[in-house]
Structure 1
Amino acid sequence: MGQTQVKALRGIELRIDTNEYVALMGPSGSGKSTLMNLLGCLDTPTRGRYELDGKDVSKMDDTELARIRNEKIGFVFQTFNLLPRQTTLENVALPLVYAGISKKERQARAQAVLDSVGLGDRVHHRPNELSGGQRQRVAIARALVNDPAIILADEPTGNLDTKTSIEIMEIFEKIHQAGNTVILVTHEPDISEHAHRIVRLRDGIIESDLRNTSVRRASDPEHRYNQA
């Protein structure tokens, strides 16, 4: 930033195993967004290594990184990032276009994953015809359509009310139970409690890395009552 050098991360060491459910937490400026970008192959470290499935992706070029993102990682964003002129089905099928999948198969796979998030009857709707919760479901379906091993979710409930947030967390629980690795960035303690492991960052270092011994389930009736 001009003459100022900002060290977003300061030589951290972190290992995430297959099928873990991890929440990354920390105040603004703690480095959690930078860490998410590195894990998602959206950025590369200035020093050090990042290995994904045993491969050092920190040395890959843009083309290789794009292929890794498309094949292995599904992204869910706070602002949904849906194309406003495209239908729900077209938004979900978009990653398959880049993967070179035929139109017929794209539509079939997009329909199947929309069915799985409860939006099978909204395939022809555009984003402005959907509620915030429905748009986030579309974003989750788009993240799942390529059957990635890793789901990265950046503040996925940040724009949603409490009831809708609980519904979205139920979907993430099902995704994790299906065998996916889920990495969640959040500043909300209630949301982080759904994860099995909570990593807290501050000033570019890992402040704590703890197992969550009391995982909160969105489907728990008591949880629903407390959040009402």
Structure 2
Amino acid sequence: MQALISFRELKKTYVMGETEVKALQSVSLDIFKNEYVALMGPSGSGKSTLMNVLGCLDTPTSGEYFLNGTNVSSMTDAELAEVRNKEIGFVFQTFNLLPRLSALENVALPLVYAGVSKNARLEKAKEMLVAVGLGDRMDHNPNELSGGQRQRVAIARAMVNDPSIILADEPTGNLDSKTSYEIMVLFEKIHKQGNTIILVTHEPDIADHAHRIVRMRDGWIDRDYKNENITTAVAVK
């Protein structure tokens, strides 16, 4: 079976003045379709650098990265932008919503870049907002929504292009424990629908929702193991 994501001896070195910082040191990793993976590690472990390469936000110094069978390691910025828009849905800790746009307009935004007609993109955005439980908040701007609602908008936006990967960077970092659990319920639902989820977190209780955990340390993969104690998120009625 071909991996959805395949890293081969991936290295990333940053030059800061006369100092070289080896953020990634020969990382090899395969992630398959419909996996639910938590990427963990302390500050300086390389997990943020790996996330940026994985999300086509940065390129490796050496090594290869295959995404859906395509080598994206040496693509230009324009080519990487196209891959990001088609293949990856991003969910960030700080939501990254445009404050002057409604929830509906925020969700529809990736479809503008994809060249989808206005009517079609608004219909798809409505569908996504209903799917995350915000059918009654479509016309609200971000400042009129709670933190949990804003993260639901961000998840709907990540899903609107039907990406092969959902990349979530500390998605519960700005939320209280109850709201965090509700967001993890939503991720569980998305995973059951067949999506591949990669969750970047430093919180063990959040990582425990994933089926596989990859721990990084000093630019290397320290441990890569199946989670035997999965926390299944179930909506509370």
With structure 2 as the length reference, what TM-score do the two structures score? 0.92
Aligned with residue 200 of structure 1, among 187, 190, 215: 215
Q: C-alpha separation between the residues in 2 aligned to 1:211 and 1:153? A: 19
Letter in 1 for 2:206: I
Task: Name the residue aligned to 1:31.
Answer: 46
Higher helix share: 1
Query: Is 1:140 the counterpart of 2:155 in the alignment?
Result: yes
Root-mean-square deviation (CA, aligned residues, Å) is 1.2
- Which protein is richer in strand relative to its size? 2
2: CA distance, partners of 1:200 / 1:108: 40
For 1:100 and 1:32, the matched residues in 2 are separated by: 33
| Aligned: 1:7 with 2:28 | no
Q: How far did 1:178 drift?
A: 0.7
Write out the 4+ residue segments of structure 1 that deviate beyond 3 Å after TM superposition.
none
Q: Please say if residues 88 and 165 of structure 2, whose CA atoms lie closer than 8 Å, have aligned partners that are also in contact.
A: yes
Residue 61 of structure 1, CA deviation: 1.1
Q: Comparing 189-198 with 57-66, which one deviates more in the overlay?
A: 57-66
The residue type paired with residue 127 of structure 2 is A
Residue segments in structure 2 that go unaligned for 5+ positions in a row: 1-15
CA offsets, 1:20-59, max 9 Å, x none?
A: 0000000011000110111111100000000001111012
- Candidates 98, 109, 115, aligned match of 1:83: 98
Which residue among 94, 99, 107 is the counterpart of 1:92?
107
TM-score (norm 1): 0.95
**Which secondary structure does the structure 2 equivalent of 1:8 belong to?**
strand
Contact 2:46 2:217 in 1 (8 A): yes
2:29 match: secondary structure: coil
Instruction: Give the CA deviation at 1:130.
Output: 0.4
Q: Which of residues 130, 134, 141 in structure 2 aligns to 1:119?
A: 134
Q: Does 1:167 align with 2:193?
A: no
1:65 partnered with 2:80: yes
Per the alignment, in what secondary structure is the counterpart of residue 221 of structure 2? strand
Q: Paired residue for 1:219?
A: 234
Q: For 2:68, which of 39, 53, 58 is the aligned residue?
A: 53
Secondary structure of residue in 1 paired with 2:139:
coil
Using a 3 Å threshold, how does the CA distance of structure 1 residues 114 and 220 change in structure 2: closer, same or farther? closer
- Pair 49,144 (structure 1): closer, same or farther in 2 beyond 3 Å: same
Per-residue deviation, 1:220: 7.7
Q: Which has the higher contact order (CA 8 A, sep 6+)?
A: 1
Structure 1 residue 13: Cα displacement: 0.7
Is the Cα–Cα contact under 8 Å of residues 207 and 213 in structure 2 kept in the other structure? yes
Q: Distance in 1 between matches of 2:230 and 2:148?
A: 23
Counterpart CA distance in 2 for 1:77 and 1:150 is 14
SS of the residue aligned with 1:199? strand
Shift in Å at residue 64 of structure 1?
A: 1.3
Distance 1:208 1:214 in 2: 16
Count of residues in Structure 1 that have an aligned counterpart in Structure 2: 222
